[in-house]
Amino acid sequence: MTAPIVLGIESSCDESGAALVRADRTIVAQAIASQDEAHRPFGGVVPEIAARAHVEVVGPMVGRVLDDAGMTLADVDAIAATAGPGLIGGVMVGLVTAKALAMASDRPLIAVNHLEGHALSPRLADPQLGFPYLLLLASGGHCQILEVRGVGDYRRLATTIDDALGEAFDKTAKILGLGYPGGPAVERLAKEGDPAAVPLPRPLKGAKEPHFSFAGLKSAVLRAHETGEYAPADIAASFQQAALDCVIDRTSRALQAANGMTALVVAGGVAANAALRGALQTMAVDHGLRFVAPPMALCTDNAAMIAWAGQERIAAGLVEPGGDPLDFVARPRWPLDPDAEPARGAGVKA
């Protein structure tokens, strides 16, 4: 018998995705559609535009990955979709699609927490990665440090009290007129600048709790830019240095608070940043830990990680034989660790 296969659907932000993933970690087929072009004129993701784009793309995309794999829904064992957290209009599109497919094919629905998708994606790429591991999850929407103890078992050690790290890169790019998404553009320009040229703050550096804050850094970047005294490349380099100083300080603080970690893992779109990867790798070596950074296609939002989270939930016995209820309600907020204390001063971020 071949390993069970799960169809995954992702639509929580500005990427629509569908993927077929086997329990033996084979990604049988996958598709991803980015909406960068649609949101670029606005310098950030516009929820209504995102939801409409998912409506157009998600259904046909599921058909395409099944065609690519030479399969029909009858060959699929379960249908997993992101059910939150995220932009609610988009989440509803993917979840409703999955419910309809589950109902039509009499297959179980698996309602996946998008953050669990990110948290377990490193195990799709790396069969050697066992629990527990420390995960830095840094994207445009999330900035957390989690102890990943097992499937469905997470302890959040840190979150951001204002902006996510990717958001800080995107806002810096906007200030410097570099376009959207900003992270890659800031990283590129930073290579030409002096990271010590602009004096910038390191918010929360040295604080006891390992939480993050980037709003003050972003404001300082804006003020520095408005003086007209600094070259954009120097601002980009100084911003990146300040942001990474914060991340390294906060992550090493979290490592002190964690117990028995087997690896240091980074996921989320900001994991594309080579300077960040390098600094984390050094930290891992210093602590005698393995460093794991999944391939970029698995770090940014994608459906393979959602299908894989479905596989992990099945294997862990967390999915009822009939699947999750078809009236499962999409959740704009859905913390992985419901017992985590709110960070002091925390705003709207989950």
Q: How far is the CB of 320 from Zn ion (least distance, A)?
A: 26
- Closer by beta carbon to Zn ion, 292 or else 299: 299
To ligand KG4, the closest distance from the beta carbon of 320 in angstroms equals 29
User: Burial letters for 316-349: b for 16+ Cβ neighbours within 10 Å, e otherwise?
Assistant: eeebeeebbeeebebbeebbbbeebeebeeeeeb
Q: Which is nearer to Zn ion, 97 or 139 (CB)?
A: 139
Question: Which parts of this chain interact with ligand KG4 (CB under 6 A)?
Answer: 13, 139-141, 166-167, 169-170, 181-184, 187, 268-270, 272-273, 300-301
Of the pair 187, 312, the CB lying nearest ligand KG4 is at 187
Cβ proximity to ligand KG4, 108 vs 193, nearer residue: 193
- State the binding partner of 273 from Zn ion, ligand KG4, none, CB within 5 to 8 A by kind: ligand KG4
Q: In angstroms, what is the minimal distance from the CB of 206 to ligand KG4?
A: 23
Question: Considering the complex, what minimum distance in angstroms separates the CB of residue 270 from ligand KG4?
Answer: 4
Residue 323 binds which entry of ligand KG4, Zn ion, none, with Cβ cut-offs from 5 to 8 Å by kind? none
State the nearest-atom distance from the C-beta of 230 to Zn ion, in Å.
Answer: 32
Q: What is the Cα–Cα distance from 148 to 287, expressed in whole angstroms?
A: 18
Q: What is the C-alpha to C-alpha distance for residues 209 and 113, in angstroms, rounded to an integer?
A: 25
**In whole angstroms, how close is the CB of 235 to ligand KG4 at the nearest point?**
15
Name which of Zn ion, ligand KG4, none residue 117 binds, using a CB cut-off of 5 to 8 Å depending on partner kind: none
Q: Angle, to 10 degrees, between the axis of helix 215-227 and the axis of helix 165-175?
A: 10
- Count Cα neighbours of 2 within 13 Å in the Cβ-side half-sphere: 10
Query: 166 contacts which partner out of ligand KG4, Zn ion, none, CB within 5 to 8 A by kind?
Result: ligand KG4
Q: Of Zn ion, ligand KG4, none, which one sits near residue 187, judging by CB under 5 to 8 A according to partner kind?
A: ligand KG4
CB of 276: closest distance to Zn ion in angstroms?
A: 16
Considering beta carbons, is residue 240 or 311 the nearer one to ligand KG4?
Answer: 240
Pairing relationship of beta strands 78-84 and 263-267 according to DSSP bridges: unpaired
Nearer to ligand KG4, 5 or 178 (CB): 178
**133 or 239: CB nearest ligand KG4:** 239
Cβ proximity to Zn ion: between 44 and 216 the closer is 44
Give the torsion sign (CA, 40, 41, 44, 48): negative
Q: How far is the CB of 298 from ligand KG4 (least distance, A)?
A: 10
* Residue ranges binding Zn ion (CB under 5 A): 139, 301
Look at residue 300 and give the partner it binds from ligand KG4, Zn ion, none, a contact being a CB closer than 5 to 8 Å depending on partner kind. Answer: ligand KG4
Among Zn ion, ligand KG4, none, what does residue 133 contact (CB within 5–8 Å per kind)?
Answer: none
In the block, tokens 């704009």 appear at 332
C-beta neighbour count of 106 within 10 angstroms: 9
Q: Using CB distances below 5 to 8 A depending on partner kind, what does residue 97 bind out of Zn ion, ligand KG4, none?
A: none
